[in-house]
Amino acid sequence: MAQLSEPESLPIPFTLHLKAVQLSEEQFLRLCEENSELRLELTAQGELIIMPPTEIATGKRNSRLTRHLDIWAEADSSGFACDSSTLFTLPNGAKRSPDASWVRQARWDALSPEEKKGFARICPDFVIELRSPTDRLPDLQSKMQEYIVNGAQLGWLIDPFERRVYVYRPDQPMEELVDPTVLSGDPVLPGFALPVHELW
């Protein structure tokens, strides 16, 4: 199969520095509601990241990997999967939206009703970021490190353009896999296997 090429003309995410403004939870929620065509994130430093809508090839890939995760999560029943429209408030205050994620039910049940409101105050146990043509790889790698520091137990950064996967785990160096066929979620997600070659 031919190597994927990266389009040159797509808009890239850009950042607005709003540290002095300090958006409240309600203001950020309203901003998201009034700009539903965009994916918005807020960094721990108060920077608003505005991402353009996903182009169709990335949308197809993301739908495929989310479906695999959701099917496994339903059969396993120890937690639940979320899609790319889900925003989490991490312990460091950042509001992040992974392309796919999974939360252990026991951790969710331990949250207070207040912590579950709006953008839930929890870092997923497992996150996937799928690189799109608009993403800068260093930005995604930094985001993956942030998930791990804030409580994620496993993270996969999938780059379909280079056919590489970067695997993140707490207290371990990042592992780079070149052109893997299948990714295993063991032991964090027992029995979960993603046929990543479908995304190339």
Tell me: pLDDT of 197 over 60. Answer: yes
Residues 46-105: tens digit of each pLDDT: 888 888 778 899 999 999 999 999 999 999 999 999 999 899 999 999 999 999 999 999
Confidence label for 10 from pLDDT (cuts 50, 70 and 90): very low
More confident residue, 8 or 139: 139
Centre a 10 Å sphere on the Cβ of residue 151 and count the other Cβ atoms it contains: 15
Nearest to residue 128, comparing CAs of 74, 77, 31, 61? Answer: 61
Phi, psi (degrees; rounded to nearest 5) at 69: -65, -40
Centre a 10 Å sphere on the Cβ of residue 147 and count the other Cβ atoms it contains: 26
What pLDDT does 17 receive? Answer: 59
Structure tokens at 48: 């608003």
Nearest to residue 189, comparing CAs of 69, 106, 88? Answer: 69
Strands 88-89 and 95-96: antiparallel
d(CA 11, CA 20): 26
Structure tokens at 180: 């893997």
Tell me: pLDDT of 20 over 70. Answer: no
Tell me: pLDDT of 32 over 70. Answer: yes
Q: What is the chain's length?
A: 200
User: From its phi and psi, is residue 46 left (phi > 0), alpha (psi between -120 and 50) or beta?
Assistant: left
Nearest to residue 156, comparing CAs of 122, 129, 124? Answer: 129
Tell me: pLDDT of 30 over 90. Answer: no
Structure tokens at 195: 């046929």
More confident residue, 141 or 40: 141
What pLDDT does 118 receive? Answer: 84
* pTM attached to this predicted model: 0.87
Q: Is residue 93 within 8 Å of 47, Cβ to Cβ?
A: no
Average pLDDT, the chain: 89
Helix (H, G, I), strand (E, B) or coil at 99: coil
Class in CATH terms, 54-199 = alpha beta
What pLDDT does 25 receive? Answer: 77
User: Where along the chain do its domains lie?
Assistant: 54-199
Structure tokens at 127: 């996150």
